């Protein structure tokens, strides 16, 4: 996800762009109190009620407020919304011009904050909890600086973390483990249903996800973002070109040359278009001669509103809905 953030920023020049709480000094605890303490110890919390101390992905012991009210979790808003939590500010680029459009039904009244979380701007929101999606966001002495503003919890170490594990972790931070489990259960059920219906609709035909931005085409990594949904969750046949490019890149989206684009052996294409309907690259002979394009099997979505560039329980669910709408109907 971090790489996608940076890619958005780069492309903007083209126009885009978680022992019970001390219950007094009594030495004698009731049986109920003892049960509560045992439950807290088994869950890994130092306290069962009130504030809790959790260890984050970087080994920091973080004291989580009893009920966080002003949370900033840049680029993790998908998970918050899935857990019915509204952040104090939402991720954006280009001075707030670009946000995660697919979340705006829930976040339309939430102010924006720059993706790189400037310290003064973060402090101005008076947050009581900061969630960071990766170690890269707190590299150097940034963790100490953010921690002076509010308790800071790093969700994952890697630039691209397993979204299911991130959801479970964030659920634990907020004491919403049951809700996180239900979100995952609902998602897996929708995957199973979509996989069956998709097989009935198109058989073993292949699918590719392509992003057009700044007159350049990008192909999704087969292990990340919408590629993870297509090739891992739904087990859709993967075009050879997608497999080849994914094997040499760790980015969510990788530029695909016109030469490779001409070799794209995809039966269906989901096109995430940042350049608009009149984009000149869509008139190019190379694009027009791709088998999926010639057959009319291109399903176009505007990047500003689509979830195909992102990942998370809501983003991935919306992709399944798009696939149902375009290919299953």
CA distance 211 to 158: 24
User: 3-state SS of 59-85?
Assistant: CCEEEECCCCCCEECCCCHHHHHHCCC
Place of tokens 């110890």: 41
pLDDT at residue 169 above 50?
yes
> CATH number of the domain that 143 lies in?
3.40.50.1980
Do 215 and 167 share a structural domain?
no
Beta bridge partners, 89, equal: 72
What share of the chain has pLDDT > 70, as a percent? 85
On whether both 54 and 155 belong to a single domain, the answer is: yes
Q: What is the pLDDT of residue 103?
A: 98
Q: Are residues 168 and 221 in the same domain?
A: no
Q: Indicate whether 185 belongs to any domain.
A: no
| Claim to verify: residue 116 and residue 230 sit in the same structural domain | no
Q: What is the pLDDT of residue 202?
A: 97
Task: State mean pLDDT over 205-232.
Answer: 97
Q: Domain ends where: 178, 211, 242?
A: 178
Q: Is 278 part of any domain?
A: yes
215 with 295, same domain: the answer is yes
**For residue 216, pLDDT beyond 80:** yes
Structural domain count, the chain:
2
Answer whether residue 184 is part of any domain.
no
pLDDT band at 300 (very low <50, low <70, confident <90, very high): very high
Domain that holds residue 311: 190-328
Q: Average pLDDT, stretch 39-62? A: 73
Q: Provide the 8-state DSSP code for 108.
A: T
**What's the rounded mean pLDDT across residues 66-70?**
95
Instruction: Concatenate the DSSP letters of all residues of 196-262 into one string.
Output: HHHHHHHTT--EEEEEEETTEEEEE-TTSHHHHIIIIIS-PPPPHHHHHHHHT--SSEEE--HHHHH
Give yes or no for residue 107 having a pLDDT over 80: yes
Dihedral angle, C-alpha 269, 275, 280, 283, nearest 10 ° = 20
Are the CB atoms for 301 and 308 separated by under 8 Å? Answer: yes
Judge if 120 and 260 occupy the same domain: no
pLDDT value at residue 16: 39
Instruction: Please tell me the predicted confidence (pLDDT) of residue 270.
Output: 98
Query: Are 150 and 121 in the same domain?
Result: yes
**CA–CA distances in Å: residue 128 to residues 64, 65, 83, 151:** 9, 7, 18, 7
Which token pair is 41? Answer: 């110890």
**Which 3 state secondary structure label does DSSP give 129?**
strand
163 and 234 share one domain: no
In this predicted structure, the answer to whether residue 197 has a pLDDT above a threshold of 60 is yes
pLDDT at 12: 45
* 319 and 197 fall within a common domain: yes
pLDDT at residue 275 is higher than 90:
yes
Q: What are the CA-CA distances from residue 215 to residues 147, 264, 280 (Å)?
A: 41, 18, 7
183 located within any domain: no
Structural domain includes residue 213: yes
pLDDT tens for each residue of 113-156: 999 999 999 999 999 999 999 999 999 999 999 999 999 999 99
pLDDT recorded at residue 19: 29
Higher pLDDT, 29 or 307: 307
Stronger pLDDT, 50 or 16, i.e. the higher one: 50
Are the beta carbons of 306 and 102 closer than 8 angstroms? Answer: yes
Sign (positive or negative) of CA dihedral 22, 24, 25, 29: negative
**d(Cα 245, Cα 23) in Å, to the nearest integer?**
58
Residue 44, pLDDT > 80, answer no
Could you say which of 178, 201, 217 is where a domain stops? 178
> Domain check: are 43 and 71 in the same one?
yes
Q: Is the pLDDT of residue 52 over 60?
A: yes
Q: Which of 192, 193, 172, 190 is nearest to 181 (CA)?
A: 172
- Residue 45, domain member (yes or no): yes
Q: Where residue 49 falls among pLDDT bands split at 50, 70, 90?
A: low
Domain boundary among 116, 143, 178: 178
How is residue 182 annotated by DSSP?
H
Mean pLDDT of the chain: 88
Tell me: do 134 and 199 sit in the same domain: no
Residue 34, pLDDT > 60, answer no
Segment 229-240 shows an average pLDDT of: 98
């Amino acid at each position: 996800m971090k790489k996608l953030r940076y890619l958005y920023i780069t492309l903007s020049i083209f126009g885009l762009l978680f022992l019970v709480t001390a219950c007094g000094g009594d030495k004698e605890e009731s049986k109920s109190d003892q049960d509560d303490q045992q439950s807290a110890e088994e869950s890994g919390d130092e306290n069962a009620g009130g504030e809790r101390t959790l260890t984050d992905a970087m080994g920091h012991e973080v004291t989580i407020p009893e009920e966080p009210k002003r949370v900033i979790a840049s680029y993790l808003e998908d998970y918050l919304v899935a857990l019915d939590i509204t952040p104090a500010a939402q991720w954006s680029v280009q001075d707030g011009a670009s946000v995660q459009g697919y979340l705006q039904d829930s976040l339309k009244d939430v102010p924006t904050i720059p993706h790189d979380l400037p310290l003064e701007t973060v402090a101005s929101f008076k947050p009581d909890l900061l969630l960071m999606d990766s170690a890269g966001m707190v590299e150097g002495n940034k963790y100490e600086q953010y921690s002076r503003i509010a308790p800071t919890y790093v969700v994952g170490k890697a630039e691209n973390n397993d979204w299911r594990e991130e959801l479970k972790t964030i659920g634990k931070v907020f004491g919403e483990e049951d809700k996180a489990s239900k979100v995952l259960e609902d998602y897996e059920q929708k995957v199973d249903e979509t996989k069956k219906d998709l097989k009935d609709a198109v058989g073993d035909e292949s699918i590719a996800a392509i992003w057009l931005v700044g007159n350049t085409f990008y192909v999704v990594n087969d292990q990340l973002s919408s590629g993870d949904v297509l090739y891992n969750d739904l087990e859709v046949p993967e075009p050879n070109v997608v497999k080849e490019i994914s094997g040499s890149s760790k980015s969510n989206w990788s530029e695909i040359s016109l030469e490779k684009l001409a070799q794209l052996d995809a039966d269906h294409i989901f096109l995430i278009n940042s350049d608009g309907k009149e984009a000149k690259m869509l008139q190019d002979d190379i694009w027009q001669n791709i088998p999926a394009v010639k057959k009319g099997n291109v399903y176009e979505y505007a990047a500003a509103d689509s979830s195909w560039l992102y990942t998370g329980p809501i983003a991935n669910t919306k992709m399944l809905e798009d696939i149902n709408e375009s290919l299953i109907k």
